[in-house]
Structure 1
Amino acid sequence: MDIPKTSKAMVLTRFSQPLELLDIPVPELKDGDMLVKVDLASVCGTDVHLARDELSMHPPTPIIMGHETVGEIYYLPDSVKTDVAGTPVKAGDRIMWSHFFDGTCYSCKVLHEPVLCEHSRGYGFSNAYELRGGYAEYEVVLSGTDFVRVPDNVTSEEAVGACCAGRTVVNAFDKLYNCGGIRQGDSVVVTGVGPVGLYAIVMAAQSGASRVIAVDISENRLEFAKKWGATHVVNAKDHPDEAERVKYIRGLCGGRGADVIIECSGVLSVFAENFKILANPSKYLIIGQTSDKSVPIVPNDIQHHNAVVIGSHSGDIRHYIKCLKFIEAHKDKYPFGEIISKKYPLAEANVALADMRSGVALKAALVNG
Structure 2
Amino acid sequence: MEIPKTCKAAVLTEYGKPLEIKEIPIPDVTGNAILVKVLLAGICGTDVHQAAGTLGIKFPLPNIQGHETLGQIVKLGPERVADVAGQELKVGDRIMWSHDFCGKCYYCSVLRMPFMCKNNIGYGFSHPDKLMGGFAEYEFILPTTPVVKVPENVLDEEAIGVGCAFRTVVNAFDKLQKKSPLGLADTVVIQGCGPIGLYSLVTANAIGAGQTIVIGAPENRLELAKKWGATHVINIDEVKDPAERQKIVLDLTDGRGAELVVECSGNPMAFNEGFGLMINGGTYLIIGLTTPSKIEFIPYVFLGKNATVIGSGSADIVHFYRALKFIKYNRTKIPMGAIISKHYRLEEINEALAGMRTGTEIKAVIDNR
CA contact (8 A) 1:96 1:147 kept: yes
CA distance in 2, matches of 1:45, 1:3: 32
- Tell me what 1:361 maps to: 361
| 1:46 match | 46
How do 1:301-316 residues align onto structure 2 when only pairs under 5 Å count?
Answer: 301-316=301-316
Give distance in 1, aligned partners of 2:77 and 2:237. 54
The aligned runs of 1:82-93 (5 Å cut-off) are: 82-93=82-93
Conservation of the 8 A alpha-carbon contact between 1:9 and 1:64: yes
- TM-fit CA distance, 1:156: 1.1
Deviation per residue, 1:148-175 (Å, 9 max, x gap): 0001100111011111100000000000
Structure 1 distance, partners of 2:127, 2:237, is 41
- Measured after TM superposition, the shift of residue 105 of structure 1 is 1.0
Name the aligned partner's letter for residue 178 of structure 2.
N
For the residues of structure 1 that align with 2:82 and 2:116, how far apart are their CA atoms? Answer: 25
TM-score, normalised to structure 1, is 0.98
Q: Return the alpha-carbon distance in structure 2 between the equivalents of residues 178 and 187 of structure 1.
A: 18
Query: Which residue of the partner structure matches residue 69 of structure 1?
Result: 69
Give the aligned partner of residue 60 of structure 1: 60
**1:152 alignment counterpart:** 152
Which 5+ residue runs of structure 2 have no aligned equivalent?
none
Q: How much has 1:30 moved relative to structure 2?
A: 4.6
The answer to whether residue 236 in structure 2 is matched with residue 241 in structure 1 is no
Cα contact 2:191–2:215 (8 A) shared by 1: yes
1:351 matched to 2:355? The reply is: no
Give RMSD over aligned pairs. 1.2
Q: State the Cα deviation string for residues 68-123 of structure 1 (Å, max 9, x = none).
A: 10100011011011101000010010000000011111111111111111210000
Is the Cα contact below 8 Å between 1:42 and 1:69 reproduced in 2?
yes
Measure how far apart 1:261 and its partner are: 0.2
Matches within 5 A, 1:150-299: 150-299=150-299
Contact 1:84 1:146 in 2 (8 A): yes
One-letter code aligned to 2:175: K
Could you tell me which residue of structure 2 aligns to residue 31 of structure 1? 31
In 1: Cα distance, 2:240 partner to 2:113 partner: 41
TM superposition outliers: structure 1 runs of 4+ over 6 Å: none
CA–CA distance in 1 between the matches of 2:218 and 2:252?
A: 19
Q: Which residue of 2 aligns with 1:96?
A: 96
- For residues 277 and 231 of structure 1, what CA distance do their matches in structure 2 show? 16
- Percent identity over the alignment is 50
Write the deviation string for residues 43-88 of structure 1: whole angstroms up to 9, x where unpaired: 1111111110011100011111101101000110110111010000
Tell me how many residue pairs correspond in the alignment: 369
Cα displacement (A) at 1:37? 0.6
- Corresponding residue number in structure 1 for 2:138: 138
Q: Distance in 2 between matches of 1:197 and 1:119?
A: 29
- Whether the aligned pair in 1 keeps the contact of 2:33 and 2:80 (CA below 8 Å) is no
